[in-house]
Amino acid sequence: MGLDGWGPDPRALADRLNGLDGVDAIVAPPYTALAACVEAGLVTYAQNVHWESEGPFTGEVSPPMLLALGVRGAIVGHSERRQYFCETDTGVARRSLAALEAGLGVIACIGETREERDAGATETVLSVQVQAIGDACGPHDRLVLAYEPVWAIGTGLTATPELAQQAHAFIKSLLDRPVLYGGSVKPDNAAELLGQPGVDGALVGGASLEVDSFAAICEAAARSRS
């Protein structure tokens, strides 16, 4: 499970998730909360990572910096990074490869906008995004993809389980790696989404900001795998 926001107390969340079998729970808080999450015993990812290990890149955080904190991986290419910070498919691939080569896990995000879906370009967009990551990284065993239909992020809209399954199956036909679903995942829709055979987990946004909400999604994931 992925967590791309932050709000709960790390120790309270760790206590709630302790003993939960059948699911890998990962948190990805802001950089200022990374150390606290690691210290609480949570599997912790950063929300981004740079492609160089050192150099004059003010404001960026390198793979060795994350490893020194005990961070285990990073989200790369989140839709908000692509939208607001102009990250490109090439940059996402570079970040993914650098993180993997440094020993980090990677959750690489892909997904189409509403305009692209309405134009019938979903598969074209996904093909280009996945190919960039696949060409750089291959089917690396620490690489996970996250399908984020941009039109379903923070909008309250959610892809139907059937749409999610269709997209995930297509993505896996391009690159044989696990695929998470991210797009308004909540406790009340998690079980149906995670019950789809091609949906390997969730990248959780706003519903991650409360312990009970995120824990309920993790518990739904565990039940779907039992």
Q: Find out whether 92 and 132 touch, Cβ atoms under 8 Å.
A: yes
Among the listed residues 50, 78, 140, 168, the single catalytic one is 78
> How is residue 152 written in tokens?
């379903």
**What's the Cα-to-Cα distance from 24 to each of 73, 175, 201, rounded to whole Å?**
13, 21, 9
Q: Find out whether 144 and 135 touch, Cβ atoms under 8 Å.
A: no
What contacts 24+ positions apart, CB below 8 Å, involve 89-92?
89/128, 89/129, 89/132, 89/133, 90/132, 91/51, 92/129, 92/132, 92/133
Work out the angle between the directed axes of helices 211-225 and 10-17 (0-180°, nearest 10).
30
Q: What 3-state DSSP class applies to 98?
A: helix
78: annotated active-site residue: yes
CA–CA separation, 132 and 43 (whole Å):
27
Among the listed residues 50, 112, 140, 148, the single catalytic one is 148
Q: Find out whether 13 and 212 touch, Cβ atoms under 8 Å.
A: no
The amino acid sitting at 122 is: T
- Residues serving a catalytic function are 78, 148
